[in-house]
């Protein structure tokens, strides 16, 4: 399974924002520089996070982005869904004989596994990363 680079950058951006004071906004240029990205590209990712209610943007010279909630409430699942959307990993394209089963067993199995993955990602937060960083330092 593979997530897009945008999700990778979104997760890293959220971690960078969590590492800063909640009073100060971080500009897109600084966040992009930390990740060696184009500010234009990162801006599109940050817009998705903002629309999902995970971060807020403030305009102006001292403007930028900050978390809208505590790192404990920023789950990996929320960040991934803000970036990737909500579509399932697998949607069956086969037509199945009705005498066998009305639903695709492969799709059903994948959905069960995906539910477990979502549960695990929902339990992992940006605060967990901050805690691990503090332990390693």
Domain boundaries, the chain: 5-136
What are the two backbone dihedrals, phi and then psi, of residue 92, each rounded to the nearest 5 degrees? -65, 135
Distance CA 67, CA 44 (A): 16
Percent of the chain with pLDDT over 90: 66
The stretch 123-128 carries a mean pLDDT of 97
Global pTM reads: 0.87
Which tokens is 29 given? 């240029």
Which of 21 and 25 is assigned the larger pLDDT?
A: 25
pLDDT, position 99: 59
pLDDT, position 95: 67
Q: 42 with 30: CB under 8 angstroms?
A: no
Burial annotation 90-126 (CB, 10 A radius, 16+ → b, else e): eeeeeeeeeeeeeebeebeebbeeeeeeeeebeeebb
pLDDT, position 96: 61
SS3 content of the chain, % helix, strand, coil (to 5): 55, 10, 35
Q: Is 72's pLDDT higher than 90?
A: yes
Q: Name the maximum alpha-carbon separation found in the chain.
A: 66
pLDDT digits (tens, 9 = 90+) for 74-121: 999 999 999 999 888 777 777 666 655 567 888 889 899 999 999 999
CB neighbours of residue 32 within 10 Å = 20
pLDDT, position 1: 65
What is the fold of 5-136?
Arc Repressor Mutant, subunit A (1.10.10)
Which of 2 and 110 is assigned the larger pLDDT?
A: 110
The stretch 66-79 carries a mean pLDDT of 96
The stretch 57-76 carries a mean pLDDT of 91
């Amino acid at each position: 399974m593979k997530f897009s680079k945008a999700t990778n950058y979104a997760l890293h951006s959220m971690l960078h924002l969590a590492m800063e004071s909640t009073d100060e906004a971080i500009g897109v240029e600084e966040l992009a520089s930390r990740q060696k990205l184009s500010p234009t590209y990162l801006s599109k990712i940050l817009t998705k996070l903002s629309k999902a209610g995970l971060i807020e943007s403030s305009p102006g010279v001292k403007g930028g982005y900050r978390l809208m909630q505590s790192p404990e409430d920023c789950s990996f699942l929320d960040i991934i869904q803000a970036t990737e959307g909500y579509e399932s990993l697998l949607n069956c394209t086969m037509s199945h004989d009705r005498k066998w089963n009305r639903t695709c067993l492969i799709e059903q199995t994948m959905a069960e596994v995906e539910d477990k993955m979502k549960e695990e990602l929902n339990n992992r937060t940006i605060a967990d990363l901050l805690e691990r960083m503090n332990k390693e330092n």
